[in-house]
Structure 1
Amino acid sequence: MEFFLDTANIDEIRAAQRQGLVDGVTTNPTLLSREGGDWRKQAKRICEIVSGPVSLEVVGTTAEDMVREAEDLVGFGPNVVIKIPMIAEGLVAAKTLSEKGIKTNVTLVFSAMQALLAAKAGATYVSPFVGRLDAIGHDGMQLIEQIRTIFDNYEFETKILVASVRDPMHVQDSALIGADVATVPYKVIQQFVKHPLTDTGLAQFLKDWEQFTE
């Protein structure tokens, strides 16, 4: 499974890179706005320091506007992936961009049928939002299972990019199901390494070594 960092913060990206935990980055207008300053400069900088895919999101709601924005955004770097909302006009844009050889990430997916439509439109990635589904009493992992089954049934090349990740179990369960990618906030990805038995075990080893060397 690939790990994408869901952030627009350069410091977080660099810190996760040192740990070998950044295969790519996903951003959105909200994340970029939190960083302040010129969002275009920030986005270009991310594309420069990340070797893997970087998802940059369009804000238009018509296919024409989305395609126009996408053609601008791909100039930020060869690793740009265009995030497109899962709406009817978004499917038109995804198909158009796919035919132009531009990679896309269809986002805000909440059903298996939406994922199927995105794959048929030629999306490179489809982003089901598991955390938001869980928050309203649905089972986000059930959706990942459904999408995985459908994509395998018809040999779609579209990758399942699990989004709206709230905790490490979302990633673990997605990996067990066979999702291709999980995009994870920095604070959550840092929880992956933590386990209380690791901490207590290390403390005991160090204590024993200190007594041995006295």
Structure 2
Amino acid sequence: MQSLLEKLSSMTVVVADTGDLEAIKKFHPRDATTNPSLILAAAQIPAYQNLIDKALTNSREMLGTEASNSDVVKEALDELCVVFGKEILKLIPGRVSTEVDARLSFDTEATILKARKIIAKYNQAGISNDRVLIKIASTWEGIKAAEVLEKENIHCNLTLLFNFYQAVACADAGVTLISPFVGRILDWYKKATGKDFYPGIEDPGVISVTKIFNYFKSNGYKTEVMGASFRNIEEITELAGCDLLTISPKLLQQLNETYSDLPIKLNAQNPLVIDEKIHLDQTSFELMMAGDKMATEKLTEGIKGFSQAIEKLENQLNERIELIEEGIALAL
């Protein structure tokens, strides 16, 4: 008898939502996705210290001995994400998502430049564009950056997506993939309503992703839908058939240990038809976001959280480079 994970994998691309290489080895996902919080968590694992040191020493070599430690650390942030990405790609047949600095989420041009820099690092390592997704927050500025990048054959994953209008704008921009955050939507509604439990079929995050999926498939959009940020396996099973689902190691384990029926819930070949066709400009997008308290609050919170994770990682890298360079000085 097959586990839920095996059944899910037959109808949906399962993506590992982790920077932990051991978890990726264990569950054999096709793709993997990371973010600053996951990289920060992975960086605490002693076994990965060599990857951090590699990113720092590569950055020092690139910038030269005259560069300040702070400049080396800034360079190492990009290098570290790519170093982890390269290690992940050794373990999976598909794509890895690597995130642009969340602090650039409202700067279109800076996001474009950072994405080009990240993809260039992958290319220099012999990794082609089709194996990398650049993760960008689903602000208007981020979506416009992705529109430019997609035309340059740099594929994008639009993250921190909480409502239908963000998804529509992404699809109109021709982005490769979106990551609607199921669990964070649920978190907001539980807090706002005081309701402790939502059955999977009534879960606000599940309902949101279901509408987006059916809209895309009804209207012939190529943009892939990847449900993300799950709180329980019922949210996952209610989205069986979605293009992709990115799942934490804890929930992957739970799915792997559970044996029950798994009917397909989302069918790209036979979607629930949504005939309406919506086009948004910046003004209408911002009006729609302003009218959605949940999406506005969760987007702001998500950008802030990822930015804080980057700052913590910067502090850790600062401490580490001092130790490395003191060791070099002592050796000399």
What TM-score results when the alignment is normalised by the length of structure 2? 0.55
Q: Does 1:124 align with 2:202?
A: no
1 or 2 for the larger relative contact order (CA 8 Å, sep ≥6)? 2
Aligned letter for 1:53?
R
**Secondary structure in 1 matching 2:256:** coil
Match of 2:218? Answer: 153
Match of 2:16? Answer: 5
Pairing 1:3-152 to 2, within 5 Å after superposition: 3-17=14-28, 22-36=29-43, 37=52, 38=55, 39=80, 40-59=82-101, 60-61=104-105, 62-74=107-119, 75-76=121-122, 77-78=127-128, 79-137=131-189, 139-152=204-217
Match of 1:200? Answer: none
User: Where in structure 2 are there 5+ consecutive unaligned residues?
Assistant: 1-11, 44-51, 56-79, 190-202, 261-332
Q: How many Å separate the matches in 2 of 1:152 and 1:15?
A: 32
**Secondary structure in 1 matching 2:134:** strand
Aligned letter for 1:154?
N
Q: How many Å separate the matches in 2 of 1:63 and 1:83?
A: 13
Match of 1:182? Answer: 245
Q: How many Å separate the matches in 1 of 2:26 and 2:207?
A: 32
Larger strand fraction of residues: 1
**Secondary structure in 1 matching 2:254:** coil
Aligned letter for 1:163?
A
Q: How many Å separate the matches in 2 of 1:41 and 1:91?
A: 26
Offset, 1:149? 2.2
Q: How many Å separate the matches in 2 of 1:153 and 1:65?
A: 34
Q: How many Å separate the matches in 1 of 2:146 and 2:134?
A: 9
CA 188–63 in structure 1, closer or farther in 2 if over 3 Å, else same: same
**Secondary structure in 2 matching 1:8:** coil
Aligned letter for 1:190?
Q
**Secondary structure in 1 matching 2:229:** coil
What TM-score results when the alignment is normalised by the length of structure 1? 0.84
**Secondary structure in 2 matching 1:136:** helix
User: Where in structure 1 are there 5+ consecutive unaligned residues?
Assistant: 198-214
Superposition RMSD in Å: 1.6
Offset, 1:41? 2.3
Offset, 1:42? 2.1
Aligned length: 191
CA 49–143 in structure 1, closer or farther in 2 if over 3 Å, else same: same
Match of 1:191? Answer: 254
Offset, 1:166? 1.7
Offset, 1:25? 0.2
Aligned letter for 1:7?
T
Aligned letter for 2:113?
R
Q: How many Å separate the matches in 2 of 1:54 and 1:160?
A: 15
Aligned letter for 1:5?
A
- Contact 1:73/1:80, CA 8 A, preserved across alignment: no
Q: How many Å separate the matches in 2 of 1:132 and 1:196?
A: 27
Aligned letter for 1:46?
I
Match of 1:212? Answer: none
Tell me the percent identity.
Answer: 30
**Secondary structure in 2 matching 1:192:** helix
Q: How many Å separate the matches in 1 of 2:31 and 2:85?
A: 13
Q: How many Å separate the matches in 1 of 2:147 and 2:259?
A: 48
**Secondary structure in 1 matching 2:154:** coil
CA 100–134 in structure 1, closer or farther in 2 if over 3 Å, else same: same
